[in-house]
Structure 1
């Protein structure tokens, strides 16, 4: 029978060494796999946020960014457990909602300047014997009525005359008044109606063509409608557009943004390309659109090449490049910064609630500014109240920058705020500025509503026409001017004026007064 030799000490040491090496290998492999798993989870969370953002954009309702009180309380409780040293945060709805109009009264109210037609109803017996009755009072009943649009033929008759007894004298006739389209069919009222229908009511020209034919029996080909509106824009409204633009470029404060618009590409038959409407304006003042086929430095430089002063925008890097070497001070937009923290909060990052609360405090300070406060007073209030809040935000950004995994929503929000910090805080030094760029973004909305109906611009050159008319219509909205009445009056008056440049400065929506 064979005997088994007992293991020697040397063999035991070798086995232990192998086991130890195997354990170290497994620990290293486990660490690598754990790191890869965290990276994959972060990547999956990033893709999930992109998907949710796309779903909200496509299918979500248009509501202000709000967080319910119950959700906020849970998030703040978790944040307190994770960061015990952090000071207590009020448990209330954070962020801000877009201001909604106050609830309207149940009974309709009519404006005092509304056109009024009075009908008086006299009893039959009074009509028969008016001398037998005396009027002792009256009862008034008001109705709201509508007179549907009607199409009329306007005939301008100019009789010819000849002085009696002078057979050799040449006949004469009154001069024809200047018209919006010399020798053309449309009057100023028709052009004004077409512009408002397309760019305010967002009706494509092919629908207007059908409407005229079906409702009024008037055949107006779509191409003819396009030619008429294009002529009026390029020959008359362009003058007013230049006056508005020069006034903005000559100022010291601009808010700027851009939005994509599709256009038919003549070089690729049947296909469309992406162009851009650039919009810039002064809060409470005028606003202007520019059209460009691209979104690069050349397009932005064409706008700001003559501008000096304060330029407020989002974090698009082109604005950095066009501001280099110019007397331009850049300002950031807190709405863009806040939106990233809000997205992080929606993605489950409870730490974003802290930043949302502080940004809410900044907006509360802006909302409390007295309406009659001067530029210096606003800067003083911001220095006293807003600067400490900004210091808290900056401290939190510096503390949290290395505590979150890359490519997470909260890391993206923190990185954006840090990279834009000098621009985000510049508004406190200039009392005439706003905390965000929202007014300019709001001006873009009508173009997006219109694009849903007319889908694209028919030709690259037509983009400039759209920029001109959107400029004038948005200025009408900002200055509470009824666009149809304005365009009708301006298109009647401009052709008969001699110095169009001087006239245009007085006919901008801000300075317009209806003709007597």
Structure 2
């Protein structure tokens, strides 16, 4: 059989392509096996933590950092959890107190023969279950005794959150806190009222109350939007929630878009879409920084011709947490583990800044984070030519290098965070809620929840008791005009309280 060079080259090329495909398939299988049977957290696995003394410099750095930590530790703080706080520090001073005095039976029988010499106390935390009651408001009528022709006198009816309804402000607040803070769907609240308290309030009625209250709260919601836009820094993310559409025989995906300002709070917007046009209400005319993940809708919106002039002042920063995840998912590659370890150093620098707020964030990052970033960039540039573009490591490298300027923006701006985790944490309560209520009841009900979630979650992020905030807000709402609404955002309300 004669040697055919053309056929040999063709078979050789085909064999090379198959070897590449086999490598990619092996990586996909390892990735899927790790997702199905591996740890669910994003912490490094034992395999990733084995650095095997790859570089003497890295080992020395680790030893230096360990030495610094040991020298700075106080022996009383050896435990990471720390000493448990006493009961007095864990229970507020203004909590209602009930005193129960127990007298021995012998003293009760013959009190004249005993003298008190001291006492021993025991403290416990107790609770009284929620108690519903009927409030009857009586407006008495009067007429003048000496002028029977005069019109009767009666006090004006108090203004109500929901006119012609038996729902009080306290009941509305309780339903909101139960659904949007404790993640209890309306149908569960309906069952609780019926079987624990023998009260019948349908979920449809409660849903109508939520819609009417959200309409009231829209004044505060729009004031919160203005505060977040004026802060000059927004972290943006979106999460899907299914909703019922009467025109379809299934529940399609809708989206809550979240905008977080560390100083002002969080605002949610509801859209039955994930398209870039959903950014129009919040980013139109905005000037400042935005920080997002790698979703293509954000650069797509910013790069549109009609937005170029308007959004020249918008600076787009990227997220190191999303970049890190790509390298964590790479298995069996020592260089990927190096990158993960170096990113961990970047986060230790951020921990130092949080623990020492007196430090200048920008100068501290320039001094300590820049050398680490240079080492990461060196590895990525070297490995980019060696890795297959479609491999997991190749994709992680390309993701990082494509966004390298955006990933480094936080170095030059002390207000920026290293990642987008702040807004993702703000979204987390909505994720817990949707596991319980499964879907929104209609395409329009999503915005009702967006309004209420915005105020409740802003309270949580700013350390405000949402119950206390909503109580004062609901008392003021019936007499509030539009010009007063700006003073009732959670941040301004908290400032007024202090």
Runs of 4+ aligned residues of structure 1 deviating over 6 Å after TM superposition are 123-134
Which runs of no fewer than 5 residues in structure 2 stay unpaired?
64-78
Residue pairs, 1:237-316, within 5 angstroms: 237-268=217-248, 270-316=249-295
**Structure 1 residue corresponding to 2:474, chosen from 488, 491, 498:** 491
Q: How many residues align?
A: 470
Match of 1:343 in 2: 329
Match of 2:464, SS state, is coil
Following superposition, the deviation at residue 442 of structure 1 comes to 0.8
Q: Any idea what the Cα deviations from partners look like across 1:252-278, whole Å, max 9, x if unmatched? A: 11111111111111221x411111111
For 1:406 and 1:492, the matched residues in 2 are separated by 60
Following superposition, the deviation at residue 487 of structure 1 comes to 1.9
Following superposition, the deviation at residue 367 of structure 1 comes to 1.6
Match of 1:110 in 2: 91
User: Under a length normalisation based on structure 1, what TM-score does the superposition of the two structures give?
Assistant: 0.84
Following superposition, the deviation at residue 25 of structure 1 comes to 5.5
For 1:259 and 1:104, the matched residues in 2 are separated by 38
Following superposition, the deviation at residue 215 of structure 1 comes to 1.1
Q: Any idea what the Cα deviations from partners look like across 1:264-300, whole Å, max 9, x if unmatched? A: 11221x4111111111112254111111121122102
Match of 1:412 in 2: 395
Match of 2:483, SS state, is helix
Following superposition, the deviation at residue 124 of structure 1 comes to 7.3
**Residues 1:378 and 2:361 are matched in the alignment:** yes
For 1:239 and 1:300, the matched residues in 2 are separated by 20
Change (3 A) 1:220 1:416: same
**Structure 2 residue corresponding to 1:177, chosen from 152, 155, 158:** 158
Match of 2:58, SS state, is coil
Change (3 A) 1:71 1:316: closer
Which runs of no fewer than 5 residues in structure 1 stay unpaired?
1-17, 81-85, 94-99
Match of 1:510, SS state, is helix
Match of 1:12 in 2: none
Change (3 A) 1:49 1:115: farther
Match of 1:206 in 2: 187
Match of 1:271, SS state, is coil
Following superposition, the deviation at residue 379 of structure 1 comes to 1.2
**Structure 1 residue corresponding to 2:175, chosen from 194, 202, 211:** 194
For 2:96 and 2:283, the matched residues in 1 are separated by 45
Following superposition, the deviation at residue 437 of structure 1 comes to 0.5
Match of 2:74 in 1: none
Give the RMSD, CA atoms, in angstroms. 2.8
Q: Any idea what the Cα deviations from partners look like across 1:35-60, whole Å, max 9, x if unmatched? A: 1222221331353255346536xxx6
Following superposition, the deviation at residue 118 of structure 1 comes to 2.1
Q: Any idea what the Cα deviations from partners look like across 1:71-128, whole Å, max 9, x if unmatched? A: 533x546xx5xxxxx66433979xxxxxx99367398643323221223445678779
For 2:234 and 2:252, the matched residues in 1 are separated by 29
Aligned residues of 1:276 and 1:291 also touching (Cα < 8 A) = yes
Change (3 A) 1:159 1:139: farther
Aligned residues of 2:31 and 2:329 also touching (Cα < 8 A) = no
Aligned residues of 1:45 and 1:408 also touching (Cα < 8 A) = no
**Residues 1:139 and 2:117 are matched in the alignment:** no
Q: Any idea what the Cα deviations from partners look like across 1:138-170, whole Å, max 9, x if unmatched? A: 332222211011111011111112222221121
For 1:413 and 1:76, the matched residues in 2 are separated by 23
For 1:434 and 1:142, the matched residues in 2 are separated by 43
Match of 2:442 in 1: 459
Aligned residues of 1:263 and 1:458 also touching (Cα < 8 A) = yes
Q: Any idea what the Cα deviations from partners look like across 1:359-409, whole Å, max 9, x if unmatched? A: 1121122222263336xx321222222222212222221111110123111
Match of 2:436, SS state, is helix
Following superposition, the deviation at residue 310 of structure 1 comes to 0.9
Q: Any idea what the Cα deviations from partners look like across 1:335-375, whole Å, max 9, x if unmatched? A: 0111100101xx2222201111221121122222263336x
Following superposition, the deviation at residue 477 of structure 1 comes to 0.7
Match of 2:208 in 1: 227
**Residues 1:440 and 2:409 are matched in the alignment:** no
Following superposition, the deviation at residue 505 of structure 1 comes to 2.7
**Residues 1:72 and 2:49 are matched in the alignment:** yes
Following superposition, the deviation at residue 245 of structure 1 comes to 1.0
Match of 1:501 in 2: 483
For 2:146 and 2:418, the matched residues in 1 are separated by 79
For 1:178 and 1:500, the matched residues in 2 are separated by 17
